[in-house]
Amino acid sequence: MADLSILNIISFLLIFFIGLPHGSFDGAVAALVGFNKTIQFVQFLFYYIILFFFVILFWLNFSIIALTIFIIMTIIHFGLCDWTNFKINKYKYSVSFTYGMTIIFGIIFFNEKQSFLIFEYLTNDKIYLIQKYLFIPYFLTILSIIYFIYLSIFEKKLRKGVIEILFLLIIFYFLDPLLSFAIYFCFFHTYKHLKHLIKNIYLNLTNKKFVIYSTLVFTIISWVGGLGIIYYLVQNLSLYESILKVIFIGLAALTLPHMLLVDVIYRRRFK
């Protein structure tokens, strides 16, 4: 069993109190894209909650498939957010693929043993058989980074991305997978997402109080709910495993409705 080290505690605190709440702005995003009347907002909440619990139930019954889908969704979501940050209308798929693959498989590559231990906790199964196939995503990641560097020769805005990717790879090399993920999720992804979102909220939403109150309510609900589930799980599991399950299965459950709202609806209107 893995120990709950100081670095693990720091990682969990960062993800739980900084990373997870960035999804609490989804109420504001919903208002931005048209769910601004009471009945519309209630409908949005209903579908959001249904999708949230659907993912949890799916994970509990098909954990390995759910983990695989979660990794794919995370690659897409992280990649699209990073592409949007460059404020360019081209290279969408190339940039998104490079960033998404670099984050996920960069962390796994430099921390393969620890990463698969986490996966085992999350799936309650030994999934080490797929390790022999990891050369495929590793190879694709390297190719995408090389192509990204090539594109940066012609697109000046991408040159800072080359530096950022190299910086992230250095972080992934020196730090363990949880802290590596926490640093990217909290200080890169969350920052870029909120910077883009807050700008559009300021320009397009007149009811600023709604943004503040809805975000606070959703944040408190996520914190209280998460702590409550950890308390329940720790009766039968270690604290480390309980926190892992709550954070990552919770992230997966939030990622699906969050992606549909942000990447499918929001990004079409606010590029």
Higher pLDDT among residues 197 and 176, named by residue? 176
Which run of H or E residues covers position 200?
helix 190-204
Taking the C-alpha atoms of residue 14 and residue 227, their distance in angstroms, rounded to an integer, is 14
Residue 216: how many other CB atoms lie within 10 Å:
13
- pLDDT at res. 271: 64
Question: Per residue in 106-128, pLDDT tens?
Answer: 999 999 999 999 999 999 887 88
Q: What would the mean pLDDT of 25-49 be, rounded to a whole number? A: 91
Taking the C-alpha atoms of residue 6 and residue 178, their distance in angstroms, rounded to an integer, is 12
- pLDDT at res. 204: 85
Who's near 37: CB < 8 A, 6+ residues apart? none
Q: What would the mean pLDDT of 178-194 be, rounded to a whole number? A: 94
- Per-residue burial over 53-62, b if 16 or more Cβ lie within 10 Å, else e, is eebbebbeee
Evaluated on CA atoms 206, 211, 212, 214, the torsion sign reads positive
- pLDDT at res. 211: 85
Domain boundaries, the chain: 6-269
> Which of 20, 30, 89, 63 shows the shortest CA–CA distance to 251?
20
Q: What would the mean pLDDT of 20-47 be, rounded to a whole number? A: 89
Rounded percentage of the chain residues whose pLDDT exceeds 70: 99
DSSP letters spanning 28-76: HHHHHTT--SHHHHHHHHHHHHHHHHHHHHHHHHSHHHHHHHHHHHHHH
Instruction: Give yes or no for residue 166 having a pLDDT over 90.
Output: yes
- pLDDT at res. 17: 87
Higher pLDDT among residues 205 and 234, named by residue? 234
- pLDDT at res. 2: 60
Alpha-carbon distance values, 222 to 12, 132, 253 (Å): 14, 37, 12
Taking the C-alpha atoms of residue 35 and residue 268, their distance in angstroms, rounded to an integer, is 15
Q: What would the mean pLDDT of 21-37 be, rounded to a whole number? A: 87
Q: Are 257 and 26 in contact (CB under 8 A)?
A: yes
Interhelix angle 6-14/239-259, nearest 10 degrees: 30
Mean pLDDT of the chain: 92
- pLDDT at res. 50: 96
Question: pTM for the whole thing?
Answer: 0.91
The pLDDT-based confidence of 178 (bands split at 50, 70, 90) is: very high
Rounded to the nearest angstrom, the gap between the alpha carbon of residue 226 and the centroid of all alpha carbons in its chain is: 16
